[in-house]
Amino acid sequence: MVTQVRADDRIAARVWEALAHVADPEIPAVSVIDMGMVERVDVAGGRVRVVVLPTFTGCPAVPQIEADVARAAQAVEGVVEARVEMSFDPPWTTDRITPDGRRRLRDFGLAPPEDGVPVLIASIGLPDRARCPFCGSRATRAESMFGPTPCRAVFYCDACRNPFEQFKPV
Amino acid sequence: MSEALAAVAVALADDELVIGHRHSEWTGLAPHIEEDVAFSSIAQDEIGHAAALYTLAGAIVGRNPDALALGRDPSEYRNAVLCERPNGDWAYTLARHWLYDTAEDVRLEALARSADDALRALATKMRREERYHLLHAGTWLERVAQGPVEGRTRIAEALARAYRDALALFEPLEREEEAVRAGWLPDASTELRSRFAQRATGQLDRLGLPTDIGAVADEAAEFVASSSGDLLAAGPAPPEPAVASGGGGRRGRHSADFEALWEEMTRTYRVSPGATW
């Protein structure tokens, strides 16, 4: 019994590790772990259940993410069966993006949401001056709350004169 | 029993799907590129919310979400008539967008307290995303309200035209009493309607836009079934056919505009049900 629990724990650790290599199909620079999308990994007798939180409800990448996570978990040594459950409980929020994830988003050219925001629904919205991912300036302005995907807003940087996108705080 | 929960989810999904379809009609045609992207993105959000609600309902009634979304006859749709009205001009588009999203926020605030775990979680998530729709609509309304006379007049007229339809978003849903009793729908539609009317007129007042659109609508606040089965407005206002007054959608009674929308929206599905991309 104890041996089985230990074996399951080891499998769970390996699944977490494997998921760190599952890229977000729309932002390949970050993984589902960077994005804080993996809520839990349960293992019982080698059977794995991964609970994944979609970033945006209408995100067309969700089925792709579901399939990629299932495939990655299935490939882990010792896994008998892997099941992925998409859940809205708790809701995914931008404060779940890890510090590594924020850095990678910035390197990718996508401004990360400000740290720690927004928790209350009434405080959800774009910052006045998102930091430009290209030059680091805050001399920027929001151009549009809506961008090429549901999770992106469009800004313009007055310092380096580049348009850029920000991952929308939600 | 939990079919009442499915009925609630389907009605709200139908609202989202149909208004999402209308919003998507601006793709490529909106007055400028930002609005083209905005309405396309809002449409994508709404249709995504519809998909999540159909999935929730489908799990209860044992139906595929796509079949629920696109495999029903027009009279089986339970969306409010407001959602199916043609986009009309930019003023009507904005007025409806603002009224709909204000109403939806009122509804989701209640559903975020639902006794059903799945519906509560979904409503909580949806409300966070819908916040951007509210901000978008609110920004436009404010901009137009503070602008030149022509814009103010046109938005005021559009709001007056859409307001009764918007109130009918809160016509009682099918099997609502059951859903309220079980706590799935924490507040009855009549209660949500007053909350919505108060909030909408309060904000219009703050923007200096006419608020007397509420007076007309209050008279039509109660809907009763006539002998013909139509929903008629009770009270001092003269009875009107249900669809003209914006009601009836929750019972599958739609305007003529819905037929054409349904035709287009479901065409691919009808040609090849179950096709995958």
List pLDDT tens digits, range B146-175: 999 999 999 999 999 999 999 999 999 999
Whether A121 sits inside 8 A of B128 (CB atoms) is yes
Judged against a pLDDT cut of 50, whether residue B218 lies above it is answered with no
Nearest to B131 among A60, A90, A121 (CB): A121
- How far apart are the CA of A169 and the nearest CA of chain B, in angstroms? 9
ipTM of the complex: 0.92
Q: What is the pLDDT, as a whole number, of residue B1?
A: 59
Whether B125 sits inside 8 A of A144 (CB atoms) is no
Q: Residue B65 to residues B7, B14, B210, B274: CA-CA distances in angstroms?
A: 13, 12, 41, 11
- How far apart are the CA of B12 and the nearest CA of chain A, in angstroms? 15
Q: Report the pLDDT averaged over residues B9-14.
A: 98
Judged against a pLDDT cut of 50, whether residue B236 lies above it is answered with no
Judged against a pLDDT cut of 50, whether residue B24 lies above it is answered with yes
Whether B129 sits inside 8 A of A150 (CB atoms) is yes
Contacts 24+ apart (CB under 8 A), B228-235: B231/B171
Which residues of chain B lie closer than 8 angstroms to A148, CB-CB? 37
Which residues of chain B lie closer than 8 angstroms to A163, CB-CB? none
The answer to whether A121 contacts chain B (CB < 8 Å) is yes
- How far apart are the CA of A73 and the nearest CA of chain B, in angstroms? 24
- CB under 8 Å to B15, separation ≥6 — which residues? B79, B80, B83, B100, B104, B169
Q: Which residue do the tokens 């792709």 mark?
A: A64
State the pLDDT confidence band at B220, using cuts at 50, 70 and 90. Answer: very low
State the pLDDT confidence band at A123, using cuts at 50, 70 and 90. Answer: confident
- For the beta sheet containing A162-167, the strands, ordered from the edge strand earlier in sequence to the opposite edge, are A110-111, A162-167, A152-157, A140-144
Judged against a pLDDT cut of 90, whether residue B226 lies above it is answered with no
State the pLDDT confidence band at B222, using cuts at 50, 70 and 90. Answer: very low
Q: Report the pLDDT averaged over residues B50-54.
A: 98
Judged against a pLDDT cut of 90, whether residue A120 lies above it is answered with no
The CB density around residue B58, as the number of other CB atoms within 10 Å, is 21
Whether B37 sits inside 8 A of A148 (CB atoms) is yes
Whether B41 sits inside 8 A of A92 (CB atoms) is no
State the pLDDT confidence band at A58, using cuts at 50, 70 and 90. Answer: confident
Write b or e for each residue in A40-79: b if 16 or more Cβ atoms lie within 10 A of its Cβ, otherwise e.
ebebeeeebebbbbbbbbbbebbeebbebbbebbbebeeb
Q: Report the pLDDT averaged over residues A131-154.
A: 95
State the pLDDT confidence band at B215, using cuts at 50, 70 and 90. Answer: low
Q: What is the pLDDT, as a whole number, of residue B243?
A: 58
Q: What is the pLDDT, as a whole number, of residue A119?
A: 65
Residue A21's nearest CA partner among A76, A103, A60 is A76
Which residues of chain B lie closer than 8 angstroms to A58, CB-CB? 44-49, 51, 129
Q: Report the pLDDT averaged over residues A128-150.
A: 94
Residue scoring higher pLDDT (A117 or B207) = B207
Judged against a pLDDT cut of 70, whether residue A32 lies above it is answered with yes
Q: Report the pLDDT averaged over residues B132-143.
A: 97
Whether B45 sits inside 8 A of A150 (CB atoms) is yes
Query: How far is the C-alpha of B89 from the C-alpha of A30, rounded, in Å?
Result: 42
Query: How far is the C-alpha of A12 from the C-alpha of A27, rounded, in Å?
Result: 25
Which residues of chain A lie closer than 8 angstroms to B136, CB-CB? 145-146
Q: Report the pLDDT averaged over residues A40-47.
A: 97
Q: What is the pLDDT, as a whole number, of residue B246?
A: 83
- CB under 8 Å to B18, separation ≥6 — which residues? B77, B79, B83, B84, B258, B261, B265
Q: Which two tokens stand for residue A128?
A: 């006045």
Q: Residue A4 to residues A7, A42, A78, B56, B189: CA-CA distances in angstroms?
A: 5, 13, 11, 35, 52
Which residues of chain A lie closer than 8 angstroms to B49, CB-CB? 57-58
Whether A56 sits inside 8 A of B49 (CB atoms) is no
Judged against a pLDDT cut of 80, whether residue B235 lies above it is answered with no
Q: Report the pLDDT averaged over residues B65-88.
A: 97
Which residues of chain A lie closer than 8 angstroms to B37, CB-CB? 144, 146-148, 154
Query: How far is the C-alpha of B141 from the C-alpha of B143, rounded, in Å?
Result: 5
